[in-house]
A and B are shown apart, each in its own frame.
Chain A
Amino acid sequence: MKKKNTIADLLFNNRFWKSVFRHDYPDNDLSRSEAMTSNLFLHIQSVKVHTNTIRPGYTLGLGLISFYLFIILTITGVLLMFYYIPSIERAYNDMKDLEFAVSYGIILRNLHRWGAHGMVAFVFFHMCRVFYTGGYKQPREFNWGIGIVLLILTLFLSLTGYLLPWDQLAFWAITIVANLIGTSPPESILGASLRYIVVGGREVGQNALIRFYVMHVIVLPLVAAVLIGVHFWRIRKDGGISRPAEE
């Protein structure tokens, strides 16, 4: 590439840039395709996409918004873990500390809480978009199924997080859900033992808190992250986002 001594050249046309990205600044079709194929994070997307894919009125960006909320939740969630101890003696006070003692702690908590509500809503909206555009049909049947599992995972991620503040809202909401699990028939055998496994005892207490915590911060996010990876990979393998048949 010829040096032109512009600011853009100074930023993009140097050895450091090249050492990181392994190609020139993407301003022609060759380097633009390299921008996608030589980047670990981008190569899950194809070099070229159909114009229908980038039409905002088609996907409404709903799947992507779900994904972004998941990312924001992961980051704010890790930060919250620095301040939160899953013990029934401390959990509630840690929430108070986040609000009154930790700098910007309340913003952190709000981002996580509203982001979680948002994710439940947007995953649902995304499912509606896929249905109303017929995006679940062959060859995307399996990805639709993965999507359903992701929706359920999202609900359980939200639910397990709901107990962690250990306030009245949390305690009684989880008690209701635990009782619901207890009604799986036959109640005295399956229901009772399922409830016992989920709560870790007869009543919602310390055992329930640590179980919900471990599910919330490790097990469910890990499974969700892997499945989101599969979901994206399948979008590409299924030929990109659905679109009207061409003439």
Chain B
Amino acid sequence: MDKKPEVVIFPKNPSKTYGLMELIRTRSFQIEKGPDNTVTSWPHLLFREMILFMFVFIVLMIISILFNAPLEEQANPSNTPNPAKSPWYFLGLQEMLSWAHPFWGGIFAPTVVTIILILAPYFDRSQKGVGVWFAPERKIANLLFTILVVLAVGLIVIGEFFRGPNWQLFWPWNMPSPH
């Protein structure tokens, strides 16, 4: 194994008899260390994580006290609701089912999108703009992804709010009540 070359953090100028140093306020030895923009995980990260947990739990608790989960009539195979809808996160798929042979919208499209997403980092390889929200260097990638997000969310919204009996389009305020 090669020995790692020793990293000199503050190189000494050989024509000078003094080195660079500074007094800083800290709780441990900082000799031969450069500034590194890190903090100890305890308490800085851990406390934030704990506070976030409490926040998540309290908000979920408040929602659960205020709103009851839906429960309709007992399942009845001989009574088909019109329209029958899948859970909201699959409504985009169900919406596409009504356009062409169900295979294209229901199986082909999601499979292709999944494969593209998994492979994306292997094609989009520039390191420019990493670590920055909406970096201008990444305009095209961000635009393509946004189109995908808008499509996914848009189809769900149509399926949830604009589709009524017989999967016809209705305005949400004109939606006939089921059965």
CB atoms of B127 and A245 under 8 A apart: yes
Bound-state CA distance A227–B87 (Å) is: 25
B124 cross-chain contacts in A, Cβ below 8 A: 137
Bound-state CA distance A30–B40 (Å) is: 10
- Asked whether A14 is an interface residue with its Cβ less than 8 Å from the other chain, the reply is no
Bound-state CA distance A101–B84 (Å) is: 30
Contacting B at CB under 8 A, from A108-128, are 109-115, 117-118, 120, 128
Closest to B48 in A: A54
Chain A contact-residue range equals: 35 or more
Question: Assuming the A-B contacts A65-B52, A118-B60, are A51 and B43 also in contact, with contact meaning beta carbons closer than 8 angstroms in the complex?
Answer: no
A64 cross-chain contacts in B, Cβ below 8 A: 49, 52
CB atoms of B86 and A176 under 8 A apart: yes
Closest to B74 in A: A92
- Asked whether B5 is an interface residue with its Cβ less than 8 Å from the other chain, the reply is no
CB atoms of A51 and B37 under 8 A apart: yes
CB atoms of B131 and A177 under 8 A apart: no
Closest to A111 in B: B64
Bound-state CA distance A138–B126 (Å) is: 9
Contacting A at CB under 8 A, from B17-34, are 26-28
B74 cross-chain contacts in A, Cβ below 8 A: 92, 166-168
Residues 46-80 of B, flagged 1 when their CB comes within 8 A of A and 0 if not, give 10110011001100110111011111111111011
Closest to B63 in A: A114
CB atoms of A136 and B132 under 8 A apart: no
Closest to A61 in B: B52
A111 cross-chain contacts in B, Cβ below 8 A: 60-61, 64
Which B residues fall within an 8 A CB radius of A? 26-28, 37-46, 48-49, 52-53, 56-57, 60-61, 63-65, 67-77, 79-81, 84-90, 93-94, 97, 101-103, 106-107, 114, 117-118, 120-122, 124-127, 129-135, 138, 141-142, 145, 149
26 contacts between A and B (CB under 8 A): A33-B40, A52-B131, A54-B45, A58-B133, A68-B57, A107-B64, A107-B65, A109-B69, A110-B68, A111-B64, A112-B69, A135-B131, A136-B120, A144-B120, A148-B117, A152-B114, A155-B90, A165-B71, A167-B72, A168-B76, A169-B70, A176-B84, A177-B86, A185-B103, A244-B130, A244-B131
